[in-house]
Every structure is written in C-alpha cells, then in structure tokens.
Chains A and B, each alone.
Chain A
Amino acid sequence: MSTSPLIRFEGVSKRFGDTAAVDDVTLDIAAGEFFVLLGPSGCGKTTLMRLLAGFEAPDAGRVLLAGRELAGLRPHRRPVNMMFQSYALFPHLTVAANVAYGLLQERLGRAEIDARVGEMLALVQLEPLSARKPDQLSGGQRQRVALARALAKRPKVLLLDEPLGALDRRLREETRGQLKAIQARLGTTFLMVTHDQDEAMGLADRMAVMRQGRIVQLGPPAELYANPVDRDVAGFLGEVNLFPVPGGGWRAVRPERMILSRDRPALADAWTGEVQAVAYLGDRTHYTVRLADGAVVRILQANTSSGPAFARADAVWAAFAPDAATVLDR
C-alpha cells in the first residue's frame, strides 16, 4: 500500500474478565478496501470491530482513523457507521424515518435529508416500501434498510457485523453480489465480520483470519486459500487433504487439485484406493476415497459428462501434481 492506511489498529488488546478477546492486534486497512475479518465465534473479530465503532475501549494499544486517534471519542462522534447483525432497526419508525435517523442527528435541512433518503432507498431498491414499518418487511428487505441506514451518512468506514447471517442461502448469494456492487459504486471502505468462509472469500479484497484474539493470517482470499499458514487455517477456508511428510509436517492439497483416474497416472504421488462415497452436486461431484494405507481423501471433480464418472466401490487411483501441494509445518 503506497498511501497511509485509513484504519490502523496498533497493538490493540481488549480483555473481558480472564479472557483476552483481542490480543495485541496490529492491522492496517486502506481506504476503499473491502476488508473481512474471518474466524469462528469467540475469536475476537466482533470485538475488534466494536473497538473501531467505539462500543468498546481498548485496554492497550491505539485505534486510528485517517491518522487520528479515536480514544475518548464516543460512538456518536465517530465517522463510521455499523450495520448490526440483528439489523437493530427502530421498530416505531418507518423505513424512510429509519434511513433519515442519522441525517437528522446532523441537523441537515429537510430538503437535503429527503433527497439523501430517496437516494439511499433507490440504492437498495426499497423506494416503494418507504412508508412501511420494519415488522411489515421480509428479512431481506430489513437487511437492505439496515444497509441504507448505515450508508446514509456517507461514513468513511462501513462496519458490517455478519450482514448475511440471517438470510437464507439463495438470498445470501444474491445479496452478496449487491453488497459488492454497492461497495464498488460508492468506494466506501467496508470492514466486515463473518464466520462464513464462502462469504469472506466471495467479498473480500483482503481478509484476516482470527483465532483466540489474534490475527493468524492476512492477505487476499486466493493467497490464503492456496498458501495457508497452518492446518487450522487451511481447514477453516475449505476442505483440505493432508499428507504427512516423513521428516515432519504435511503436504496440503485441496480436493479440486486432486486427480482421480482408473489407470495409474504418471505422477509420483499416486495411490490406489476405493471409492467410498459419491456426492453428485450438478456441476461437480465430490468423492470420498479410501486409500490402500487406510487414509481417506476427498476429491472434487468437474462434471464434463452427464452423471458422475465413478461409482461407489470402484477401484481407482488418487493422485496430485507436485505444484498442487503446499507444505505446512504446523
């Protein structure tokens, strides 16, 4: 990054009782980035975000926004807005009044507020529902009101706490696309927290995997997926086959990088085995194969003809090319 970062966490720690929710985290996020904090629940990712919003104060370290330290600044004074996990829409206000709420606090003129609310509702395609109350909306519509409300003040940073978590699968995929498009269009810096690796990888420019209050790996999704630092990260980002290396450590191979064939392939790393389970997924087929030495590997194959290429109990060869493996020490 050539420019100075928009957000900087500098050796930030936060304890709740005996547990360190956030443990000495240092992290820079550039303006305009779509940054995702990924980790299991309780890993400290939400606390890290709440430290930026001002709902928690760090026990140690500094949080800076555009070079300015935020310590002592109450949440209502911070130029960041959050989209809450449960949306936290005001139930007694209409959709339009919810979106206007933040603008009213700035004491803008009526005409300007109306214009901005209209613009935001258009952005999330909710103009026809502006007079409804939140309990008259579907889950997806509420999610979009929450997004419009958080964006209405044109924050420097938009914080998203599990924004897609409450939606069903199909709506989640559709909304994911909309989120990405809105972020690209506005150029706002997005900082999102999620425990869902598909969501993280599908949205992030860069992401950080967190564990026990610490960032264990940081980088673009493709880099983290291909070169995880350890078995935990490898497993958290998707399925992985681990082949022990005689001297210690493992070679990690993703299921889609495995090769499955009837005849022996011309590769050094090839084993005979038997297909134990076949899961046909339409575009792909997922095979579980038991190797001769008893190890179980998972293999994902694109379907080039109709139906799976192998059936249960077929004798097969499982293999991978040298460049498909990543060596892991831990």
Chain B
Amino acid sequence: MKRGGVERSAWLAYAWLAVFFLAPFALVLKLSLSHTTLGIPPYAPRLDLSQGLASVVALVRDLNFDAYGRFVSDRLYVDAYLSSLGYAGVATALLIAIGYPMALAMARAPRGAQPFLVAAVIAPFWTSFLLRIYAWTAILKPEGWLNLALRSLGLPEVQLLNTDAAIYLGLVYAYLPFMVLPLYAVLERQDQGLLEAAADLGATPWRAFWTVTFPMSLPGVAAGALLCLIPMTGEFIVPDLLGGSQTLMIGKVIWSEFFQNRDWPAAAAAAAALTATLVLPILLHQRLQARTLSR
C-alpha cells in the first residue's frame, strides 16, 4: 500500500513536470525554430489546426535552425551567455562563503531559537522580489542611504549603482535564503557526537570542521549551489535594476530580443540554450544523489 502511494506521488510529480515544464518548453522550442515576421504575433509559421494533419506537416517543413545559427555566430549572445555564467558562478561562490557560516550558526543555535532564525531567513519573501531589488537602488544611488551614512561617518563616498559590485550585492542578497536553507537542513541533522569523536581523536575544532562537518554537508552545498546558480544565470531584474547599461547577462538579452527587437525566435533560442545547459548540472546532481541513496 505504501509502495502504491509512493508510485502515485511520483506520477503526480511527472504530470506536474509535463504540464508546467515540458509543455511550455516545447512551445519555446517550437518558437525558437520559427522565423520573424511583421505582424502579431511576430513569428511564423503558426499552427492552424482547422487544416488538419496537413497543417502540422506544413508547420514542420517551415521550421528551421536559423535562430540558433544567429545565436552561435553572434558574439553578443555567446558573450552574454558566458558572462551570465561568470556572474552566477562568482555569486554562487560568494553565497557559499556567506551562507555557510550563517547556516552553521543557525544549526548550532539553541534548539528553541532555531525556528525563529529560519523564519528570519524566510521573512524577506513576504515582500515582492522586484520591490526589494528596487529598494536597493534607493540605498546604492549616489545620494542614497549608503552614501548618507558614509558621509555622516566622515568616510569617502562610493559609487556602487550600475556597477558589477551592485549586481553581486543584489544577487547575494536575493538568493541567500536559497543557499542558507538547504545548508541548514543538512547541518541541523548532523550528529554533534561526531565532533566529540573527532576532538577525542585529536582533531582541533578547525580540523574537525574540515574533515567531518564540511564533507558531510556537501549534499547541502550542492543543492544550495544549484538552487542559486540556475536562476541567477537567467536573472533579469537584478542586472536590469542594479547593473549598468553595459552589463551583459543572458536574461537581459532575452528580454530585449523579446520586447525591444521583437525577435521572438532569437529570444526563444537563447532561452532554450540556457535551459539545456542548466538541466545538465541538475541531472548530474540527481545521479549523484541516486548513488548515495542506493548505498
């Protein structure tokens, strides 16, 4: 009976994936194989089901890989793509460096205090993501709160808005809960007796951390890194609001192809390529997890 329950919930998950991921993704794929036209919507061919099966054949015959050709040949796309991965990669490293000590402190806090600390990490979600990032512009702008504070302390002012530093700040701020929570989940479960055993065997607290706590928390590090890296690579709001006009991120490129150039196939091709590369690390992660579980 329990087995049946597990299978049913697995099918639910697959159905969910099919309806909310695979179907939209198929539409994006089809769009990426189309070509632009003047009109609404600004692409062709379109599926006209009143013509029956013949229209499907006509549709397929009319699809091509031109958008992908442009994607690969145009330096802009490739550069935006690589620089997005770069921003997301650096931000992920920063998130681990900042999120790990936070999660560790939460996991080692008194039991009674832990629910409040978790609530504090989640609290920012009660405000819209867009609003929170927008609020940062008020802090970082030349006459913003940051410089007001610096000036009142007699310190030199800084110009952060529209710089890479502001993008990293925004990314780290926005994605910190996604790093802290999976890390907290694994660290909170760790048996403190293992640290006593390590100390008993002669390990300093520092050595005990690097030989016991950290290696045992790697699944949490991987989960947190994936949860942050993937959406950050396609991030649009943070670079758009905090980064300068020269900031090159694939999310911004997709947005401007879609809304400014009205080149929907190009935007769809960029999005499809992004999804394809980001699915790779997820699959890798799942394989690793399956291997650990089967043991």
Residue positions of A touching B, CB distance < 8 A: 53-55, 74-77, 80-82, 84, 86, 88-92, 101-102, 105-106, 133, 135-136, 149-150, 153
Contact = CB atoms under 8 A, between A and B. Distances in A.
Nearest to B212: A90
A105 B201 contact: yes
B191 A76 contact: no
Contact of A76 (B199, B212, B215, B295): B199
Contacts of B201: 76, 81, 101-102, 105, 149-150, 153
A307 to B, nearest CB: 49
A75 B216 contact: no
Contact of B196 (A75, A101, A133): A75
Given A75-B196, A88-B196, A88-B197, A135 B295 contact: yes
Interface in B271-286: none
B204 A88 contact: no
Contact of B203 (A81, A84, A105): A105
Interface of B: 191, 193-194, 196-204, 207, 211-212, 215-216, 295
A81 to B, nearest CB: 6
Contact of A153 (B194, B202, B216, B295): B202
Nearest to B203: A105
Nearest to B191: A88
Contact of B202 (A84, A106, A133, A136): A106
Given A92-B215, A92-B216, A76 B194 contact: no
Given A105-B201, A106-B202, A90 B207 contact: no
A76 B193 contact: no
Contacts of A76: 198-204
Contacts of B197: 82, 84, 88-90
Contacts of B204: 76
B197 to A, nearest CB: 4
23 contacts: A53-B200, A54-B199, A55-B196, A55-B199, A74-B199, A75-B196, A76-B199, A76-B201, A76-B202, A76-B203, A81-B201, A82-B197, A84-B197, A88-B194, A88-B196, A90-B194, A90-B216, A91-B216, A101-B198, A101-B211, A102-B201, A106-B202, A153-B201
A102 B201 CA distance: 5
Nearest to B196: A55
A247 B216 CA distance: 66
A106 B203 CA distance: 9
Contacts of B200: 53, 75-76, 80-82, 84, 150
Contacts of B199: 54-55, 74-76
B216 A84 contact: no
| A-B CB proximity, top 3 nearest | A102-B201, A105-B202, A88-B197
B202 A102 contact: yes
Nearest to A101: B201
Nearest to B190: A91
A4 B197 CA distance: 29
Contact of A105 (B191, B194, B207, B216): B207
Nearest to A146: B197
Contacts of A81: 200-201
Nearest to B195: A88
A90 B207 CA distance: 14
Given A55-B199, A76-B200, 4 more contacts: A76-B203, A77-B202, A86-B191, A135-B295
